């Protein structure tokens, strides 16, 4: 439904970019795609939208080339989840036990969906679309559904781990001037994935590892007065905010479920953290504050 709405009423590319502080004209950003004249001269109806879509770059979700690689698995998995809900009760009963031995189609669709999402998130020029959020939600619903996930996760868990690692690296390595809108979209996806109980702990471990390694590299650079990666320093904050949000959710749920993150990365992260904060607090107060906030959340369950 969202895909159809966006095809009929295409979203303005200029509205997808937040002001980065640079003097970049929104008209130029719109005209650079070569579609401004058609868009302004006609009302958005089905016919004009088709002509408009023919000139959109291939990363647009409605494009028939790469778009289908994402929309097809989303639609298939949506139908599968709908059938799963219908089989809850009534006369119609669907037996999903055969997926244990023959789940190639479902796993292949999940793999295509993850690859398609990685392609879109890896490009800083794509418009942030509601359809991307819908695709991620479909993926999470599939994982959350125990009768389906029990058969699918065994073959797709490694692919899901690779997907999370790719999203984290997309955040860390993005050096575009107008990157913050794209980073926000990737961060939102990681938060959605982290809210799933099956994926949460592994995602927290990945985030803790990246933040810890960067903190150690920053401390080493500061001690020898060497240059450090400024872009990575700016991009580490989204990871800190994601980590803080996931740990906050974990802490809030711990009072009910008595479950909290206690992985190996927690021990590594807290090992020399006080010394790192002590040495970096004067030169990097904001980053030191985030490190301290994360440490408080990691220790909060134990303190309680």
Higher pLDDT, 65 or 176: 176
pLDDT at 191: 93
Which has more confidence, 150 or 174?
Answer: 174
Q: Which of 43-52, 104-113, 164-173, 203-212 has the lowest mean pLDDT?
A: 43-52
Structure confidence at residue 220 (pLDDT): 94
User: Are 119 and 67 within 8 A, CB to CB?
Assistant: no
Per the listing, tokens 């295409």 go with 10
The length of the chain is 304
Q: What is the pLDDT of residue 62?
A: 42
Interval 240-254 mean pLDDT = 79
Give ∠ CA 154-185-153 in degrees, rounded to 5.
Answer: 5
Q: Which of 18, 64, 63, 68 is nearest to 185 (CA)?
A: 18
C-alpha to C-alpha distance for 139 and 297, rounded to whole angstroms = 28
Q: How far apart are CA 293 and CA 296, in angstroms?
A: 5
pLDDT recorded at residue 302: 59
CA neighbor of 238 nearest in space, from 160, 180, 285, 154: 180
Mean of the per-residue pLDDT values of the chain: 75
pLDDT score of 196: 85
Local confidence band at 131 (pLDDT 50, 70, 90 cut-offs): confident
Q: What is the pLDDT of residue 67?
A: 53
Q: How far apart are CA 118 and CA 185, in angstroms?
A: 12
pTM for the model stands at: 0.73
Q: Within 10 Å of residue 68's Cβ, how many Cβ atoms?
A: 14
pLDDT reading at 41 higher than 80: no
Residues 6 or more apart whose Cβ sits within 8 Å of residue 153? 143, 160, 198
Q: Which residues contact 278 (CB under 8 A, 6 or more apart)?
A: none
With contact defined as beta carbons under 8 Å apart, do 277 and 288 qualify? yes
| Higher local confidence (pLDDT), 32 or 94 | 94
pLDDT of residue 215: 96
| Distances from the Cα of 4 to the Cα of 8, 15, 39, 80, 260, angstroms | 6, 19, 18, 20, 41
Pinpoint the alpha helices (H) of 195-272: 197-223, 230-257, 264-271
Contact 241, 207 (CB under 8 A): no
């Amino acid at each position: 439904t969202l895909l159809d709405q966006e095809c009929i009423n295409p979203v303005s590319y200029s509205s997808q970019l937040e002001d980065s502080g640079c003097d970049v004209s929104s008209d130029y950003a719109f005209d650079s795609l070569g579609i401004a004249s058609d868009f302004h001269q006609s009302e958005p109806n089905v016919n004009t939208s088709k002509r408009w879509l023919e000139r959109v770059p291939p990363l647009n979700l409605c494009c028939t080339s790469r778009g289908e690689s994402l929309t097809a698995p989303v639609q298939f998995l949506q139908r599968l989840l709908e059938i799963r809900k219908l089989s809850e009760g009534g006369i119609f009963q669907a037996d999903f036990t055969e997926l244990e031995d023959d789940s190639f189609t479902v796993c292949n669709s999940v793999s295509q969906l993850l690859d398609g999402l990685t392609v879109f998130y890896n490009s800083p020029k794509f418009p942030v679309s509601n359809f991307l959020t819908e695709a991620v939600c479909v993926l999470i619903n599939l994982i959350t559904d125990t009768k389906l996930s029990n058969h699918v996760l065994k073959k797709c868990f490694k692919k899901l781990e690779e997907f999370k690692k790719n999203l984290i690296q997309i955040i860390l390595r993005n050096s575009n001037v107008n990157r913050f809108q794209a980073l926000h979209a990737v961060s939102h996806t990681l938060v959605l994935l982290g809210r799933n109980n099956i994926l949460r702990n592994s995602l927290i471990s990945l985030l803790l590892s990246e933040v810890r390694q960067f903190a150690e590299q920053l401390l080493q650079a500061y001690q020898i007065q060497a240059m450090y990666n400024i872009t990575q320093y700016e991009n580490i904050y989204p990871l800190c905010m994601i980590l803080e949000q996931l740990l906050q959710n974990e802490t809030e749920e711990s009072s009910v479920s008595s479950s909290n993150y206690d992985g190996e990365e927690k021990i590594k992260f807290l090992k020399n953290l006080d010394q790192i904060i002590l040495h970096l607090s004067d030169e990097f107060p904001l980053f030191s504050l985030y490190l301290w906030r994360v440490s408080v959340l990691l220790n909060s369950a134990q303190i309680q």
